[in-house]
């Protein structure tokens, strides 16, 4: 780090220590609620409403066995995956050629079309849910995985096109030209050269699509009711007339979100560029 | 970015992009047109589709006259202004802090910031609902042991503030990380030159960092404004718009009118159209400003 003041060494090292301490405090503010949720998942019912709140206690695994046996965690996880896996695969299938087209071709109205696609990503969920709800009723597909798979394409496809486009943009043209000289068709270049070179970006795009589909709440709440409930809506059902069942709720939440958080940390470098549709490059 | 203008093989772009455009037309544009149609009709949920009546703009007129809609507009504006402003200010400060750290601390802070963003929003809402519990919640525990304060977060006065705090907790990481990436892209020479001139940290921030970051700042602000405008999940889980209508954002107003108390799908659609228009205007500004930037790159 390059210090901003040019004081003596002592002052500089003190300043550095303060910086580290403040950094740790900032980080704690953001992680504490998640750690607290983890603690809740290992507490008994009484410990969870204890006053003052307990920070140190003997953990119990009761909530986890309840989440799995009584509240059918795995059957809801299955519901989530039945929606998420097809929607991510379909999104990539549709978006990959499109993103390559936007990256490598010049054509009329290219920019307008690209920005039109981007604007679709920004539509409010509620404006999509109402027509989907009515049309879904006509087609008798409410509460079936297919309606969520299609609904999630509406935000995944524009997102994946923009994100993958920025990864294809990074591949030098010379590499592709060399392939063409060797007699590969445009499709051959795409499949044999560009796609393998962009595989890191492809993995990041797939993970981000998975995260946003897996976390989605509003569509799932209104377009499904009993048979296709996905995890984000299930966690809200731990409310009884006795109040919220904090322990099982926290255990279910942690089981549901843990894989997502790990995946996000793994692709942290692409996260920033992904979340800004490639507008800001990640570091 | 350069593009290959004319290559012998496969020069038509149509097969590359047409499938995606057809899919998007079918799954987004058609439903939006149908939403417009719904918004011009009076139709109740659970009544046969044939009982709908074309009422043209009556739904919109009813919206404007409806006090609860007006309330939702005001609540939404308050929510957007407060959360976006604070997320921006905190984001700028935290970004500067990350920049000052050694590599190990940087990764630690970045990982800590990623977690709230990727946490399932409905889960985030639930955790914070428990944290804000007036008696047993940790927030009041810390407030009372540190400052002797006890706040009834579930009350009419504080419910909106509590939902704002969650938004700020979950999305300040977004502004921090994007602004940090922006700062990293600013050439180190600018900072060094300023330091040689003996500028203070504050001056470096206001005179160099912020002006150079302008495009990134614009993107961050607009994206946060759009997301805050359409906020639904966290607030729904925390308060369902209550107590009273104190946290009823536009999305929650749509939910209540369309699905919950009443089943006025026509009315709800008209509010959704209004929300869609608001978001579209903002997204156009975002896109224009970004488009201008791309043009500049050549």
Establish if A120 touches chain B: CB-CB under 8 angstroms.
Answer: yes
Count the alpha carbons within 13 Å of B91 in the hemisphere toward its beta carbon.
Answer: 30
Instruction: Tell whether B69 is covered by a domain.
Output: yes
Q: What's the average model confidence in pLDDT over A250-255?
A: 94
Beta carbons within 8 Å of B186's beta carbon, 6+ residues apart: B208, B209, B212, B213
Q: Chain B neighbours among A 93-112 (CB < 8 Å)?
A: 94-95, 97-98, 100-107, 111
Per-residue pLDDT at B47 exceeds 50: yes
CATH of A72-275, one of 1.10.3720.10, 3.40.50.620, 2.60.40.60, 3.30.390.10: 1.10.3720.10
What tokens appear for B257 in the block?
A: 């009118």
Instruction: Tell whether B36 is covered by a domain.
Output: no
Q: Chain A neighbours among B 227-246 (CB < 8 Å)?
A: 229-230, 232-233, 236-237
Contact B17 A94 (CB under 8 A): no
Q: How far is CA A134 from its chain centroid? A: 28
Per-residue pLDDT at B85 exceeds 70: yes
- Residue in A1, A131, A151 to test binding to B, most B beta-carbons within 10 Å: A131
Q: What's the average model confidence in pLDDT over B214-243?
A: 91
Burial A60-88 (b: 16+ CB within 10 A, else e): eebbbebbbeebebeebbebbebbbebbb
Per-residue pLDDT at B292 exceeds 60: yes
Compute the Cα dihedral for B8, B10, B14, B17 and give only its sign: negative
Contact A131 B268 (CB under 8 A): no
Q: What gap in Å lies between CA A75 and CA A68, rounded to an integer?
A: 9
Q: What gap in Å lies between CA A76 and CA B183, rounded to an integer?
A: 42
Q: Over the stretch A80-96, which tens digit does the pLDDT of each residue have? A: 999 999 999 999 999 99
Say what the pLDDT of residue A40 is: 92
CB distance A117 to B266 below 8 Å: no
Q: Measure CB to CB from residue A26 to each of B97, B275, B287 and give the nearest one.
A: B97
Establish if A40 touches chain B: CB-CB under 8 angstroms.
Answer: yes
Q: Measure CB to CB from residue B38 to each of A134, A233, A246 and give the nearest one.
A: A134
Q: Over the stretch A189-232, which tens digit does the pLDDT of each residue have? A: 999 999 999 998 999 999 999 999 999 999 999 999 888 999 99
Burial B115-136 (b: 16+ CB within 10 A, else e): bbbbbbbbbbbbbbbbbbbeeb
Q: Over the stretch B133-156, which tens digit does the pLDDT of each residue have? A: 988 889 999 999 999 888 999 999
CB distance B228 to B79 below 8 Å: yes
Q: What gap in Å lies between CA A4 and CA A238, rounded to an integer?
A: 52
Of all residues in chain A, the percent with pLDDT exceeding 90 is 62
Helix axes B103-118, B67-100, angle to 10 degrees: 160
Q: What's the average model confidence in pLDDT over A11-17?
A: 82
Pairing of strands A243-244, A239-240: antiparallel
Confidence bin at A26 (pLDDT 50/70/90): very high
The residue with greater pLDDT, B260 or A78, is A78
The residue with greater pLDDT, B176 or A239, is B176
The count of domains in chain B is 1
Confidence bin at A241 (pLDDT 50/70/90): low
Confidence bin at B295 (pLDDT 50/70/90): low
Which runs of consecutive H residues, i.e. helices, occur in chain A? 9-41, 45-48, 62-65, 73-104, 110-121, 125-138, 145-169, 173-181, 186-189, 195-197, 199-215, 218-223, 231-234, 246-266, 268-275
Opening angle at CA B215, ends B213 and B217, nearest 5: 65
Q: State the residue range of the domain holding B239.
A: 60-297
Say what the pLDDT of residue A10 is: 76
- Phi, psi angle pair for A235, to nearest 5°: -60, -25
Q: What's the average model confidence in pLDDT over B25-36?
A: 96
Q: What gap in Å lies between CA B187 and CA B203, rounded to an integer?
A: 17
Say what the pLDDT of residue B293 is: 63
Q: Over the stretch B167-190, which tens digit does the pLDDT of each residue have? A: 999 999 999 999 998 888 877 777
**Average pLDDT score over chain A:** 89
Compute the Cα dihedral for B157, B158, B160, B161 and give only its sign: positive
The residue with greater pLDDT, B229 or B6, is B229
Q: What's the average model confidence in pLDDT over B49-53?
A: 89
Say what the pLDDT of residue A65 is: 94
Q: Over the stretch B6-21, which tens digit does the pLDDT of each residue have? A: 444 446 899 999 999 9
Instruction: Tell whether B49 is covered by a domain.
Output: no
Establish if A218 touches chain B: CB-CB under 8 angstroms.
Answer: yes
CB distance B75 to B153 below 8 Å: no
Of all residues in chain B, the percent with pLDDT exceeding 90 is 64
What tokens appear for A63 in the block?
A: 């909530």
- Using a 10 angstrom Cβ sphere, with 0-12 exposed, 13-18 middle and 19 or more buried, the burial of residue A234 is buried
Q: Chain A neighbours among B 7-26 (CB < 8 Å)?
A: 7, 9-10, 13, 15-17, 19-21, 23-24
Q: Chain B neighbours among A 256-275 (CB < 8 Å)?
A: 256-257, 260-261, 264-265, 268, 271-273, 275
Confidence bin at A141 (pLDDT 50/70/90): very high
Q: What's the average model confidence in pLDDT over B278-296?
A: 77
Confidence bin at A275 (pLDDT 50/70/90): confident
Q: Measure CB to CB from residue A130 to each of B7, B19, B265 and give the nearest one.
A: B265
Contact A105 B13 (CB under 8 A): yes
Pairing of strands B41-42, A239-240: unpaired
CA distance A248 to chain B (A): 12
Lowest mean pLDDT among A63-67, A141-145, B57-61, B201-205: B201-205
Q: How many CB atoms lie within 10 A of CB B13?
A: 20
DSSP states of A125-185 as a string?
HHHHHHHHHHHHHHTT-TTSHHHHHHHHHHHHHHHHHHHHHHHHHTS-HHHHHHHHHTT--
CB distance B65 to B267 below 8 Å: no
Residues of A within 8 A of B281 (CB-CB) are: none
Q: Over the stretch A29-84, which tens digit does the pLDDT of each residue have? A: 999 999 999 999 999 888 888 777 888 888 999 999 999 999 999 999 999 999 99
Residue of chain B whose alpha carbon sits nearest to that of A147: B27
Confidence bin at B294 (pLDDT 50/70/90): low
Opening angle at CA A185, ends A184 and A189, nearest 5: 70
Confidence bin at A283 (pLDDT 50/70/90): low
Instruction: Tell whether B31 is covered by a domain.
Output: no
CATH number of the structural domain spanning residue B148: 1.10.3720.10
Q: Which residue pairs, CB below 8 angstroms and at least 24 apart, start in B6-10? A: B7/A180, B7/A186, B9/A180, B9/A185, B9/A186, B10/A185, B10/A186, B10/A187
Q: Measure CB to CB from residue A122 to each of B20, B94, B279 and give the nearest one.
A: B279
């Amino acid at each position: 780090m390059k210090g901003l003041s040019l004081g003596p060494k002592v002052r500089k090292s003190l300043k550095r220590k303060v910086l580290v301490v403040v950094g740790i405090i900032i980080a704690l503010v953001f992680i504490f609620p998640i750690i607290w949720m983890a603690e809740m998942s290992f507490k008994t019912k009484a410990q969870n409403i204890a006053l003052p709140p307990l920070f140190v206690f003997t953990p119990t695994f009761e909530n986890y066995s309840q989440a799995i046996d009584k509240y059918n965690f795995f059957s809801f996880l299955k519901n989530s995956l039945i929606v998420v896996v097809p929607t991510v695969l379909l999104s990539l299938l549709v978006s990959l050629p499109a993103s390559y087209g936007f990256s490598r071709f010049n054509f009329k109205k290219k920019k307008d079309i690209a920005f039109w696609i981007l604007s679709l990503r920004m539509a409010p969920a509620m404006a999509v849910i109402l027509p989907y709800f009515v049309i879904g009723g006509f087609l008798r597909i409410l509460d079936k995985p297919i309606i969520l798979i299609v609904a999630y394409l509406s935000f995944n496809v524009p997102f994946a096109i923009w994100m993958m486009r920025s990864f294809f943009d990074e591949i030098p043209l010379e590499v592709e030209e060399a392939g063409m000289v060797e007699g590969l068709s445009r499709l051959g270049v795409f499949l044999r050269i560009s796609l393998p070179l962009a595989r890191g970006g492809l993995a990041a795009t797939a993970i981000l699509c998975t995260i946003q589909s897996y976390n989605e709440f509003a569509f799932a709440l209104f377009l499904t009711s009993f048979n296709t409930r996905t995890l984000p809506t299930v966690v809200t059902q731990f409310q009884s007339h006795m109040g919220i069942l904090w322990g099982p709720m926290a255990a279910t939440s942690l089981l549901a979100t843990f894989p997502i958080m790990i995946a996000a940390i793994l692709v942290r470098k692409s996260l920033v560029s992904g979340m800004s549709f490639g507008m800001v490059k990640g570091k | 970015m350069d593009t290959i203008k004319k290559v012998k093989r496969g020069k038509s772009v149509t097969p590359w992009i047409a499938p995606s455009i057809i899919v998007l037309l079918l799954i987004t544009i058609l439903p939006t047109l149908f939403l417009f149609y719904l918004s011009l009709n009076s139709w109740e949920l659970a009544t046969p589709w044939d009982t709908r009546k074309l009422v043209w703009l009556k739904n919109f007129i009813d919206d404007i006259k409806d006090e609860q809609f007006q309330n939702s507009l005001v609540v939404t504006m308050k929510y957007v202004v407060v959360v976006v402003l604070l997320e921006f200010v905190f984001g700028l400060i935290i970004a500067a802090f990350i920049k000052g750290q050694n590599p190990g601390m940087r990764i630690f802070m970045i990982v800590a910031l990623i977690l709230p963003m990727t946490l399932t929003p409905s889960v985030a809402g639930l955790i914070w609902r428990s944290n804000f519990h007036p008696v047993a919640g940790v927030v009041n525990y810390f407030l009372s042991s540190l400052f002797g304060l006890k706040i009834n977060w579930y009350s009419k006065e504080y419910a909106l503030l509590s939902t704002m705090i969650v938004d700020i907790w979950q999305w300040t990481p977004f502004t921090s990380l994007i602004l940090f990436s922006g700062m990293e892209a600013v050439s180190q020479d600018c900072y060094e030159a300023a330091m040689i001139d003996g500028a203070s940290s504050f001056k470096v921030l206001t005179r160099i960092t912020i002006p150079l970051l302008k495009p990134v700042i614009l993107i961050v602000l607009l994206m946060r404004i759009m997301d805050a405008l359409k906020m639904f999940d966290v607030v729904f889980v925390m308060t369902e718009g209550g107590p009273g209508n104190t946290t009823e954002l536009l999305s929650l107003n749509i939910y209540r009118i369309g699905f919950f108390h009443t089943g006025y799908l026509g009315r709800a659609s008209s509010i959704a159209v209004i929300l869609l228009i608001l978001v579209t205007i903002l997204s156009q500004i975002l896109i224009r400003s970004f488009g201008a930037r791309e043009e500049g790159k050549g």
